[in-house]
Amino acid sequence: MEVTEQSLDRAERLDARLGLFVTRTPDRALAQARAADTALVRARRAGTPTPPLLGVPCPVKDLTRVAGVPCSLGSAAFAGFVPDVDDGVVTLLREAGTVLLGTTTTPELGLPCYTEPAVAPPARTPWDERRGAGGSSGGAAATVAAGVSPLAHGSDGGGSIRIPASCCGVVGLKPTRGRVSPGPHGVDLGGLAVHGCLARSVADAAALLDVLARPWPGDATVLPAPGTTFLDASRRDPGRLRVGLLLDPVIAADVTVHPACREAAVATAALLADLGHDVVEVGPPFPAQRWEAFAAVWAALAAAAPVPPDREHLLRPLTAWLRERGRAASAVEYLAATAAIQEVSRQVALAWAHVDLVLSPTLADLPAPVGSLRDDDDPASDFAAQTRFTPWTSVWNLTGRPAVSLPLHWHEQDGLLLPVGVMLGAGFGSEEILLALAAELEQARPWRHRYVALASRLTDSAP
């Protein structure tokens, strides 16, 4: 109960300032915390195990349904929508004993890589409140970084967990396609998006993945379970690995990479070599124009969103533009795009077959100032700016492979230390090796002490 009360108090003091939540659920959280206390007492008396995350605060992203809690999908067009069912991941989180603090801020339909919705204040990175938290799991990442919760649920269709993880200085894990089921009520439409984890440590992200990685009847893809658990995997020696260092942007040719982002990846490569791994340079696995298949499917997904016809006018210009593009594509063009994605996946597998993992910067720039990427007057320019900001992340959505962003590096800007994420991606279904190497890097260059300083600064400046 005490942990939940502290989390709720911190959420109340920091929410409006950092844009953390669309809806907070304090009454539900306190009821769940009381139930967790009771369950803990009973388990100790009976000598029985407790649920794995009993009493741990863990909010849910506003794209995900929680029965009885408003779900706006980050859009004014869905204001007033209250689901009557829990999505599967919410059921799993509840069964694991987590405490729901509320639903975290996301941009409209989760489409942009910045979190500036019409239904809530923009999500800001706690390290510099003039800068955005990234998107689309921006509120979730900021909540974890700010010390409101140690874990948060997120989802990732083009980098939407890893982008805010980099901006907010936390761990962001996108699992393999099919690892976390969209069931029992959702479908794997397009195959790009997957539920995943935001946390302060690799072990915590692994523990959350253990909870979420449960299949539901009717899943199109069911992957083999880990040998033991993903948490165990994060505690193993990864052995000697061959890591590819990718510095050139993949999805856009006209990208200027901030020196700090490049240096973060280069320094991590040097650290990996010091740890005994073999590091070799690799190039982009396909020409930048081949990424257009992703853009085509992304537009189709936007067009498929069930927006009530009488509320279309409430959509943001970027969303409306994407929906128009999606509707303009024929069925044959959509099928060609999905076929191209499968072809790209094969290209990636062949190009990187000689390495176990690939290391790159997570982003091409430091966390972007709020409003600097968004361009309501020119949605095409807005979309292009997003691709330049995130020229590596969507490769792992195209291929379905797992990837993680780690807060290994920091850059001083305007007198403040900003997080600079680095990204590791592995082969399809290879979360265990990915987590093992990520945890080894965390142990070699720990970052937890930075949260202590940040928490103190936020507390001192809170109203």
Tens place of pLDDT per residue across the chain (463 aa): 999 999 999 999 999 999 999 999 999 999 999 999 999 999 999 999 999 999 999 999 999 999 999 999 999 999 999 999 999 999 999 999 999 999 999 999 999 999 999 999 999 999 999 999 999 999 999 999 999 999 999 999 999 999 999 999 999 999 999 999 999 999 988 899 999 999 999 999 999 999 999 999 999 888 999 999 999 999 999 999 999 999 999 998 889 999 999 999 999 999 999 999 999 999 999 999 999 999 999 999 999 999 999 999 999 999 999 999 999 999 999 999 999 999 999 999 999 999 999 999 999 999 999 999 999 999 999 999 999 999 999 999 999 999 999 999 999 999 999 999 999 999 999 999 999 999 999 999 999 999 999 998 998 776 6
Catalytic hit among 7, 72, 75, 136: 136
Residues 260-288 as b or e (16 or more Cβ within 10 Å = b): bbeebbbebbebbeeeebebeebebbbeb
Dist CA 264 CA 361 (whole Å)? 7
Verify whether residue 174 is a known catalytic residue: no
Dist CA 144 CA 20 (whole Å)? 10
Verify whether residue 75 is a known catalytic residue: no
In 283-432, the DSSP E strands lie at 357-361, 403-413, 416-426
Residue 461 CB-density burial (10 A; 0-12 exposed, 13-18 middle, 19+ buried): exposed
pLDDT value, residue 459: 83
pLDDT value, residue 254: 87
- Quickly tell me which residue has 């600097």 as its tokens: 372
| 459: Cα within 13 Å, side-chain hemisphere | 12
Dist CA 55 CA 141 (whole Å)? 20
**Total count of domains within the chain:** 1
Pick from 416, 456, 461: nearest CA to 127: 416
Tokens of 360: 């790159």
Catalytic hit among 160, 201, 345, 360: 160
- Whole-number CA gyration radius for the chain: 21
Verify whether residue 181 is a known catalytic residue: no
Pick from 18, 461, 435: nearest CA to 227: 435
Crossing angle for the helix pair 431-444 and 202-212, to the nearest 10 degrees: 160
Dist CA 234 CA 36 (whole Å)? 26
CB-CB contact of 421 with 361 (8 Å): yes
Dist CA 268 CA 271 (whole Å)? 5
DSSP at 78:
G
- Altogether, the residues listed in the chain come to a count of 463
- 196: domain CATH number is 3.90.1300.10
CB-CB contact of 214 with 181 (8 Å): yes
Dist CA 195 CA 216 (whole Å)? 14
Name the amino acid, one letter, at 71.
C
Tokens of 168: 């907010």
How far from 135 is each of 159, 307, 389, CA to CA, in Å? 8, 21, 11
**Cα 157 → chain centroid:** 9
- Quickly tell me which residue has 């393999």 as its tokens: 176
Q: CA 436, 440, 442, 443: dihedral to nearest 10 degrees?
A: 130
In 16-129, the DSSP E strands lie at 21-24, 60-61, 102-104
Q: Do strands 242-246 and 357-361 pair parallel, antiparallel, or not at all (unpaired)?
A: parallel
Helices (H), 19-76: 26-46
Pick from 364, 340, 344: nearest CA to 249: 364
Dist CA 156 CA 162 (whole Å)? 8
Q: Residue 285: which domain range? A: 2-461
Dist CA 235 CA 430 (whole Å)? 15
Whole-model pTM?
A: 0.98
Residue 176 CB-density burial (10 A; 0-12 exposed, 13-18 middle, 19+ buried): buried
Catalytic hit among 61, 137, 149, 181: 61
Pick from 120, 159, 157, 127: nearest CA to 142: 127
Sheet with 102-104: strands ordered across: 21-24, 102-104, 60-61
CB-CB contact of 11 with 21 (8 Å): yes
